[in-house]
Structure 1
């Protein structure tokens, strides 16, 4: 089979070369670094507050992942936490502020509208990890509580340290998890009995249990060894075709929520375009010439 890149295709794939350089916003609760080409490290950065997720952090998470999804210099994102904990979960001061806002209304319909808007905003911020077209790898150390479980459940790959522990805490504080854990985690671990127990009891589960139920892929002895290995994995992913990687993530998530046939139709519709891309041509030529490392353009 012979493929030829047309002038129209060249224009499409290289349109980005004439666009202005992409710049990131500044963040108060996140720290963004890139030490390897095409790999960005997003760090929860409220170490003095155990990385508690206040309203600003929730909003910045959504904004950050939306930006990185469009950033052609980013192909993989590694999510970590600065300080002692990965995150202690939602900042309860936010809940108190919400209570004050609700108290400003007398009618139950208006009170409910305030709460629903609050919940939907936080849901969208967590879903930004899933909607981000770049793979998101979570590297968790020590405590990952409540909203933190929601956050990593929306990532694509999860690793943790031996001292990591997790808790679906919401029933312990008189509510149900409402930003993704109840929807995503059962599909990740594939065992409703185990998941129901963790959600109903709000008990802590450690790194080894998280590994045994399939919530994390690998457990590392130290944070240093985890970050070293995770960055190597991210670098490996970043060396692959961004066209192939981004479509793979899109297809995985689509297929999770649709029938097998719908998933097959979805990928067929997309691959009829992608198999004409410069990435496919470069990769097949590299295989033919035994070149193990084709260089792919930004996307």
Structure 2
């Protein structure tokens, strides 16, 4: 399944979809094709009930080099330079940024859980992308950099909003202000990734195994857990408890719940259908 995408490839099996970054720029750089196709791909995966979890990875030697500056010059250039760079151009740039934000915002708002599997470089927009995922694994060769500051840009695709909840304010501010490179071990210490694996192959094997374990669980319950946690992120504990109580009051009764009890009683593996 690729729907004619140029910057992405989608592979599906057993409830797991792999969303593979292709570029086509060097290092899977994010050019015009990516910003156009990524929101469409996310919507398609969200609507596909056969997909229960999505694994995001890069093709080749890297996750992504981030924004393809040269590739984006045709759309960005006229909005950043020129003698008549006034209100009309400012409005068009605002619209363009909003459209690009849908590539990460759409992912974060998806009903489905997303796992990032990072090897090689993860730079700039790649950081925005993995910050929107539910959690992250990486290989030992992974390097991370919130490098927008080095090219005169304030990161504007979600990293500055999401990373503080993942790695804390101090780490996020250090990355955003300095543009430094962070290796896999420090990424693990700061909580950016859940686990580091010796090689890209071992990392991908474990990420796929985790995705399959998620896919084996009742999909509506997994999606419910994601929605409850997202809701609670900026709420009090009391608000969060009330929300999950209402959620379960509405959605606890299901065919999957009956199947779970039956499988337990019969000492067999449950077969959840998302009903």
Q: Does residue 216 of structure 2 align to residue 233 of structure 1?
A: no
Q: Does residue 52 of structure 2 align to residue 42 of structure 1?
A: no
For the 8 Å contact 2:218–2:274, the answer to whether it is kept is: no
Q: Does residue 129 of structure 2 align to residue 151 of structure 1?
A: yes
Q: Which residue of 1 aligns with 2:61?
A: 84
Alpha-carbon distance, 1:114 to partner: 0.9
Alpha-carbon distance, 1:259 to partner: 2.5
Candidates 162, 183, 188, aligned match of 2:140: 162
For the 8 Å contact 1:152–1:158, the answer to whether it is kept is: yes
Residues 1:286 and 1:30: Cα distance change in structure 2 (over 3 Å): same
Q: Which residue of 2 aligns with 1:261?
A: 238
Alpha-carbon distance, 1:104 to partner: 7.3
**Which structure has the larger Rg over C-alpha atoms?**
1
Distance 2:153 2:56 in 1: 27
Write the mapping of 1:253-292 to structure 2, written as runs, cut at 5 A.
Answer: 253-291=230-268
Q: Which residue of 1 aligns with 2:7?
A: 29
Write the mapping of 1:129-208 to structure 2, written as runs, cut at 5 A.
Answer: 129-189=107-167, 191-208=168-185
Residues 1:107 and 1:140: Cα distance change in structure 2 (over 3 Å): closer
Question: Mean Cα displacement is larger for which, 180-189 or 53-62?
Answer: 53-62
Runs of 4+ off more than 4 Å: 101-105
For the 8 Å contact 1:141–1:164, the answer to whether it is kept is: yes
Candidates 198, 215, 221, aligned match of 2:198: 221
For the 8 Å contact 2:79–2:93, the answer to whether it is kept is: no
RMSD of aligned Cα (Å): 1.8
Q: Which residue of 1 aligns with 2:270?
A: 294
For the 8 Å contact 2:64–2:123, the answer to whether it is kept is: yes
Alpha-carbon distance, 1:102 to partner: 5.3
Residue aligned with 1:266, SS: helix
Q: Cα deviation per residue 1:70-108 (whole Å; 9 max; x = unaligned)?
A: 101100111010012110000102442212245578362
TM-score normalised over the length of structure 2 = 0.94
Distance 1:265 1:298 in 2: 24
TM-score normalised over the length of structure 1 = 0.87
Distance 2:261 2:239 in 1: 28
For the 8 Å contact 2:6–2:24, the answer to whether it is kept is: no
Distance 1:26 1:248 in 2: 33
Q: Cα deviation per residue 1:95-135 (whole Å; 9 max; x = unaligned)?
A: 42212245578362212111111111111111111111111
Structure 1, unpaired ranges of 5+ = 1-22
Structure 2, unpaired ranges of 5+ = none
Alpha-carbon distance, 1:278 to partner: 1.2
Alpha-carbon distance, 1:298 to partner: 4.4
Residues 1:85 and 1:249: Cα distance change in structure 2 (over 3 Å): same
Residue aligned with 2:6, SS: coil
Alpha-carbon distance, 1:286 to partner: 2.1
Residue aligned with 1:196, SS: helix
Distance 1:105 1:284 in 2: 70
Distance 1:198 1:245 in 2: 32
